[in-house]
Chain A
Amino acid sequence: MIEAHSLTKRYGAKTAVDAISFTARPGLVTGFLGPNGAGKSTTMRMIVGFDRPSSGSVTVNGKPYAEHRAPRHQVGALLDAKAVHAGRSARNHLLTIATTHRIGTKRVDEVIGMTGLESVARKRVGGFSLGMGQRLGLAVALLGNPATLILDEPVNGLDPEGVAWVRVFLRSLAAEGRTVFLSSHLMSEMAQTADHIIVLGRGRVIADAPVGDILARAGGDIVRVRSPEVVRLTAILTAEGGAMTSAEPDLLSVAGISARRIAELAAGAGIAVYELTPIAGSLEDAYMSLTRSEVEYQTTQSRAGENR
């Protein structure tokens, strides 16, 4: 359980985190989403006490992090996978952490196995790829078998297999009654992992809702349909009230009709369908529309007209 109350961090005149309040509950994967520079990492650093809040407070499992008697068993954090001395082996790195809480070498070897680091465990961390470093960061977070996990961009640099593994693994950790709090700047990633999403933009919470609600806010799904009989299918779907765009001769993007209904209609008309994909593009759109005005580093548009 993570509870933030009016949590604020100012650096000089710049407000990185602006009086945010939120709760991440046990048993759920809570996604912390926002563009780069929105204040996600700063918030996470305040949760584990690296940075002192300018005002407000945040507790983990009922107490400020530093007041726990066994911090590593309460919280497993992956805030910076590079927080490792390059000259030390992965196993020794884990041992430096395990020893503080008298965690045995058995558990150290266990998390090495869980994160697939067996073959490199005794190599110096300096030679690790981004993905291996990320796995080591996850191993550190898991070491204390903690009740709460705080992970900043945990799949950053992982290969697709690793991403899928993390996704399943985090869901299983939440199912055991743990609090899983992870950040990302990619909505699509969150949509597949999180139960609840908190969207941060320029230091403020701009959405805090179950994934389903955020989806609903996007105004319906888009379904990608591939078929040899696009023209006939378009006619049927239009009659059903769908809106369509077509990027390729055999490809349709359908808004306003569920994938299931499209399949039924196509089957009823005897139309072959090669592909039927509900896509997260609409999620991205929802996210973009939520954060458009909140992006700190915009590319070309002028910010002049904005009312902030």
Chain B
Amino acid sequence: MSSTATKVFTPSGHDLGFGGILWSEWVKLRSIRSTWWLYGMLVAVTVGLGAQMSSSHGYNNEELEPEGVQALGVFATTVSTDFTGLIVSVLAVLFIAGEYGSGMISTTLTSVPRRLPALLGKALVFAVATFAVSAVAVAIAIPLSVAVLSGTGIDIDLGDPLYWRAQLGVVLYLVLTGLIAFEIGAILRSTAGGIAVALGLLLAAPIAFGLLTLGSSQVWIQNVQALLPTELGKALFSHPGRWELIAPGMPMEQAPAELWVLEPWQAGFLLLAWVIALLAVAATLLKRRDA
């Protein structure tokens, strides 16, 4: 062709950066209605169930030792995690797998062609938002629960650091469980499949293991069961007064030596191990697969 020294357009503007990716993912999270619905449900369920459990009069509060009282306080605000764990998981799957379902992923990967920063940014934004919302939910549920329990003659000692450790455990459990579901969604790239597998892990797996341990006294099955996210969560936000609450005045049942009894910090690290392992799988697949 007769190209007479064609001029070439020179683009200008800011480079792609991780800060921009985070901001972008935040815009994505807040510009979808389901985010607000599900986070709203998370707060409502945490606060509502916390208040309801605190007002129940079925406790033998006369006989409770102080330890048991503290465990009761913890129970009142952690019982909702059976539901809120599901809520954050559904939100997490919607957030990541929704990109694939809608085709948005190709827009995202055009902006971030190296791919991994997009996945990490999205996970980070989800984790921070979920931490904030869960912390708010717990922060509302605690004074309400303490006040309601006080009305039934049960006084929680707020100077007990283990009470606060358990409350922090709830927040961490919701963040880490949500991240596990997020990664399941990233691996399966399907909203329906992701929700099915995430709920299977949180709902069906504990039931299945419950049946297995009923039919067998094999300790290793119980040990594997202890590694499920839901069981790790229970260990993470447990309070040492739990036994006192379940069986007041009874001597603590001796667990077989081979049975793993996890400290909260151990449970927390094991949940983190789930998150890191699944993240590695999700990241590898994202890099390898055609979008």
Contacts and interface: CB of A to CB of B under 8 A. Distances in A.
Nearest to B114: A66
Interface string B1-44: 10100111111111111001101100110011110000000000
Contacts of B16: 69-72, 100-101
Given A50-B290, A177-B8, 16 more contacts: A52-B290, A70-B13, A70-B15, A70-B16, A71-B112, A73-B12, A79-B106, A83-B105, A83-B106, A84-B102, A89-B31, A95-B27, A99-B23, A100-B21, A100-B23, A102-B13
Max count, chain B CB within 10 A of own CB: residue among A49, A83, A140, A196 = A83
Contacts of A96: 24, 27-28, 31, 107-108
B183 interface: no
A134 interface: no
Nearest to B2: A210
A50 B102 contact: no
A275 interface: no
Max count, chain B CB within 10 A of own CB: residue among A27, A66, A75, A82 = A27
B9 A26 contact: yes
Nearest to A65: B113
B107 A140 contact: yes
B103 A99 contact: no
B81 to A, nearest CB: 28
B287 to A, nearest CB: 10
B11 A145 contact: yes
Contacts of A146: 11
Nearest to B104: A85
A52 B286 CA distance: 12
B244 interface: no
A85 B24 contact: no
A171 interface: no
Contacts of A1: 8
B102 A86 contact: yes
B13 A73 contact: yes
A81 B273 CA distance: 39
Given A27-B6, A27-B8, A102-B17, A97 B107 contact: yes
27 contacts: A27-B7, A50-B109, A50-B291, A69-B15, A70-B11, A72-B13, A75-B110, A79-B106, A80-B103, A82-B103, A84-B102, A85-B32, A85-B104, A87-B32, A87-B34, A88-B32, A96-B28, A97-B111, A99-B20, A99-B27, A101-B13, A101-B15, A101-B111, A147-B10, A176-B7, A177-B6, A177-B7
A19 interface: no
A25 B34 CA distance: 45
Nearest to A11: B290
B111 A103 contact: no
Interface string A92-134: 1101110111110000000000000000000000000000000
A179 to B, nearest CB: 8
A48 B105 CA distance: 13
Contacts of B17: 102
Contacts of A86: 102
Given A83-B104, A88-B32, A71 B110 contact: yes
Interface in A155-197: 176-178, 195-196
A145 B24 contact: no
Contacts of B21: 100
B13 A103 contact: yes
B94 to A, nearest CB: 10
Contacts of B34: 87
Contacts of B103: 80, 82-84
Interface string B100-144: 001111111111111000000000000000000000000000000
Contacts of A177: 6-9
Contacts of B33: 87
Nearest to A92: B31
A102 B20 contact: yes
A240 B12 CA distance: 57
A88 B25 CA distance: 13
A33 interface: no
A154 interface: no
A195 B1 contact: yes
A66 B20 contact: no
Interface string B74-106: 000000000000000000000000110011111
Contacts of A103: 13-14
A77 interface: yes
Interface in B162-192: none
B111 A176 contact: no
A52 B290 CA distance: 6
A79 to B, nearest CB: 6
A40 B107 CA distance: 19
A145 B14 CA distance: 12
Contacts of B111: 71-72, 97, 100-101
A250 interface: no
Nearest to B26: A99
A82 B106 CA distance: 10
A147 B112 CA distance: 17
